[in-house]
């Protein structure tokens, strides 16, 4: 490769005792469809003792695009990655862990997205090999907003990053952290990026849990190492993010991390290593005091919100009981009471714990499932059938309601739904079927439905709880979704006009009826 030509991508690899995985990693780079003439590889051997350094040298002798740096062990990936970044010349940088590997088209697809969209950061869809990856973070997107999309679920380094934004900061890995250092680095990169994209339609990056258990994240950690990266990244977000939605979502993500990666091991270690537990608890409570706001509760699974509240407000025993509880093994039941639904996790209404009911209130989270089976007209009467129910509550004897809401004004007209037998839905849903009929020429006992665009909703009721859903998207496969002929609701011969209604399905398959005033047809 000509030394004058600027590579498109600098692939940086920090390698420490990565054999035999390193060979597959390097093969995946040199086999990229982008072509090695557009890539440079900078690999830093961080004091390996298993032959990783020799393997890097072997590849360098075969591929002049590969530059190898040997150094004494630094104790973590941050230092060697920084050294590689200092040497990088490419327009973009991509960090590849030495025990992971790339799909053959990964760099070509990432670069195409970056260049066509003028992106500063492009996430690479990940495949977990014995490790968990976020599907939500890697949904394909030409542009993903940091605050409202799910990209902030992904803080692993495997991203194509415009090197200009790394150098402008400059942004580097904290070399005093060996655990969570990528969270600090990637957060800083996200905050500097003007545009973020996601290649989510191709398996780009294969993230491996090593069979020998030597992933760096598998090392034991001190209390300081367990918490320090969370402290640092929360401080970074608090300092840099003024947008209330962004601040809530980003810091809320790290409270999830606090519970799962810091407080959970502290609970497990409390009998054998009480000093470790005490320090993690103290620093965790300091983070809650510094950064928690009540609206962040919605960023956590409900059980984690309850755990965090108990962590700072209850005796340690209550918090530890909640941490040891596994909802997958003991699913909680839902209690409907006075129009609200409470999920009965442990310590619900336990007087000694004193946890407020609002923590257990999941009414707003409940979803109504629905299905539209038929839509027919009898004159001006619109007749709909299907089934609907509120998740976890089944169905009760109370009827629901069909609701027509005018899109601009918000005016509503309703008609009762009648429960009917629905034997095929399973136990507890025997009365989930519904039938409803609305006379569009005399809504709510009055005159015809007025001009406008009327969206169709269903109020689904069970045990005094009501959930409203947009009707139509889930429907029988043979339901006619094409525009239907207009039907006359009322005529004004003196004015020479009439009201006509036309039902149709929107681009999102939701049912809508449009009422328009038109001229009466003339004879002859």
Per-residue H/E/C for 436-454: EEEECCCHHHCCCCCCEEE
- Is the residue at 301 inside a domain? yes
Condensed to tens digits (0 to 9), the pLDDT of residues 141-187 reads 999 999 999 999 999 999 999 999 999 989 999 989 999 999 999 99
Lowest mean pLDDT among 115-119, 262-266, 291-295: 291-295
Instruction: Please identify, among 329, 363, 397, the residue that sits at the C-terminal boundary of a domain.
Output: 363
Position 426 scores a pLDDT of: 61
Which of these three, 166, 182, 215, is where a domain ends?
215
Question: Mean of the per-residue pLDDT values for the chain?
Answer: 92
- Encode pLDDT of 32-52 as tens digits: 999 999 999 999 999 999 999
More confident residue, 311 or 132: 311
The percentage of residues in the chain with a pLDDT greater than 70, rounded to a whole number, is 94
Same domain, 207 and 238: no
What mean pLDDT comes out for the span 272-282? Answer: 97
- A 10 A CB-CB count for 290 gives 12
Q: Which of 363, 394, 413 is the last residue of a domain?
A: 363
- Does residue 193 lie within any of the structural domains? yes
Instruction: Say what the alpha-carbon torsion angle 237, 239, 240, 246 is, to the nearest 10 degrees.
Output: 50
Q: Is residue 399 in a domain?
A: yes
Residue 1: pLDDT above 70? no
In this structure, the answer to whether residues 129 and 107 fall within a common structural domain is yes
- Average pLDDT of 272-297? 96
User: Are 443 and 501 a contacting pair, CB within 8 Å?
Assistant: no
The verdict on residue 4 lying in a domain is no
Looking at the structure, tell me whether residues 38 and 70 fall in a common domain. Answer: yes
pTM above 0.85, yes or no: no
Instruction: Say yes or no: 176 and 224 in one domain.
Output: no
Number of domains in the chain: 3
Instruction: Specify which of 85-94, 128-137, 458-467 reaches the highest per-range mean pLDDT.
Output: 85-94
pLDDT of 425 > 90? The answer is no
- Which pLDDT score is estimated for 215? 47
The encoded tokens of residue 169 equal 């900061």
* Omega within 30 of 0 (cis) for the link into 200: no
Does residue 1 sit within a domain? no
Q: What pLDDT, on the 0 to 100 scale, is given for residue 2? A: 45
Q: Are residues 169 and 51 in the same domain?
A: yes
Whether 375 and 414 share a structural domain: yes
The residue-averaged pLDDT of 14-29 equals: 96
pLDDT at residue number 185: 97
Higher pLDDT, 389 or 110: 110
Q: DSSP state, 46? A: E
Helix (H) / strand (E) element for 95: namely: strand 92-95
State whether 332 and 395 are in the same domain: no
pLDDT above 90: percentage of residues in the chain: 77
Look at residue 212 in the predicted model and tell me its pLDDT: 61
User: Which CATH number characterizes residue 445's domain?
Assistant: 2.60.40
Chain-centre distance of CA 178, in angstroms?
Answer: 26
- Minimum mean pLDDT range among 66-70, 265-269, 348-352, 476-480: 476-480
Residue 2: inside a domain, yes or no? no
pLDDT exceeds 50 at position 267 = yes
Q: What is the pLDDT of residues 240-257, one digit of tens each?
A: 999 999 999 999 999 999
* Residues 253 and 275 placed together within one structural domain of the fold: yes
User: Does residue 396 register a pLDDT over 70?
Assistant: no
Tell me whether residue 196 is in a domain: yes
pLDDT over 70 at 398, yes or no: no
Structural domain range at position 51: 9-215
Residues recorded for the chain: 524
In this structure, the answer to whether residues 14 and 143 fall within a common structural domain is yes
Spell out a b/e string for 483-492, using b for 16 or more CB atoms within 10 Å of the CB, else e: eeebbebbee
471-506: pLDDT as tens digits: 998 999 888 777 678 888 888 888 888 899 999 999
Do 223 and 162 have their domain in common?
A: no
Whether 168 is covered by a domain: the verdict is: yes
CATH code for the domain of 81 = 3.90.550.10
Q: In this structure, are 359 and 376 located in the same domain?
A: no
Residues 484 and 378 grouped into a single domain: yes
55 φ, ψ to 5°?
-65, -40
């Amino acid at each position: 490769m000509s030394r004058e030509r600027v590579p498109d991508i600098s692939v940086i690899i920090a390698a420490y005792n990565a054999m035999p995985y390193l060979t597959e990693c390097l093969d995946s780079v040199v086999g990229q469809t982008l072509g090695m003439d557009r890539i440079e590889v900078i690999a830093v051997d961080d004091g390996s003792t298993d032959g990783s350094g020799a393997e890097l040298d072997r590849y360098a002798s075969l591929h002049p695009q590969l530059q190898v740096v040997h150094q004494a062990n630094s104790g973590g990936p941050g230092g060697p990655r920084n050294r590689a970044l200092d040497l990088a010349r490419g327009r973009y940088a991509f960090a590849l862990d030495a025990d992971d590997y790339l799909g053959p088209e990964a760099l070509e697809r990432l670069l195409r997205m970056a260049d066509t969209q003028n992106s500063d950061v492009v996430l690479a869809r990940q495949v977990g090999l014995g490790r968990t990856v976020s599907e939500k973070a890697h949904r394909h997107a030409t542009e993903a907003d940091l605050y409202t999309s799910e990209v902030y679920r992904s803080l692993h380094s495997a991203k194509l990053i415009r090197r200009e934004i790394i150098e402008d900061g400059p942004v580097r890995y904290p070399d005093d952290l060996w655990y969570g250092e990528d969270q600090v680095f990637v957060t800083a990169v996200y905050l500097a990026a003007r545009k973020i994209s996601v290649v989510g339609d191709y398996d780009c990056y294969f993230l491996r849990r090593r069979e020998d258990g030597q992933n760096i994240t598998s090392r034991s950690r001190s209390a300081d190492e367990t918490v320090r990266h969370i402290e640092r990244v929360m401080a970074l977000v608090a300092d840099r993010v003024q947008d209330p939605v962004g601040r809530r979502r980003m810091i809320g993500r790290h409270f999830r991390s606090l519970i799962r990666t810091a407080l959970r091991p502290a609970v497990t270690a409390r009998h054998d290593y009480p000093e470790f537990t005490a320090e993690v608890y103290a620093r965790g409570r300091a983070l809650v005091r510094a950064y928690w706001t009540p609206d962040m509760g919605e960023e956590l699974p409900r059980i984690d919100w309850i755990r965090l509240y108990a962590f700072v407000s209850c005796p340690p025993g209550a918090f530890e009981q909640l941490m040891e509880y596994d909802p997958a093994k003991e699913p909680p039941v839902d209690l409907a009471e006075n129009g609200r639904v409470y999920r009965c996790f442990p310590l619900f209404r336990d007087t000694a714990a004193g946890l407020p009911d609002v923590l257990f209130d999941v009414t707003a989270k409940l979803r109504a499932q629905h299905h539209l089976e038929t839509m027919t007209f009898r004159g001006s009467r619109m007749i709909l059938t299907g089934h609907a129910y509120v998740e976890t509550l089944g169905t009760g004897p109370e009827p629901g309601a069909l609701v027509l809401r005018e899109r601009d004004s918000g005016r509503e007209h309703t008609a009762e739904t009648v429960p009917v037998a629905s034997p095929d839905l399973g136990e507890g849903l025997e009365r989930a079927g519904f039938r409803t009929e609305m006379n569009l020429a005399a809504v709510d006992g009055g005159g015809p439905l007025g001009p406008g665009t009327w969206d169709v909703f269903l109020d689904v009721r069970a045990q005094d709880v009501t959930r409203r859903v947009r009707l139509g998207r889930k429907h029988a496969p043979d339901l006619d979704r094409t525009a239907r002929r207009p039907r006359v609701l009322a005529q004004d011969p003196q004015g020479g006009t009439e009201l006509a209604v036309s039902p149709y399905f929107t681009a999102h398959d939701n049912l809508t009826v449009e009422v328009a005033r038109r001229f009466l047809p003339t004879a002859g």
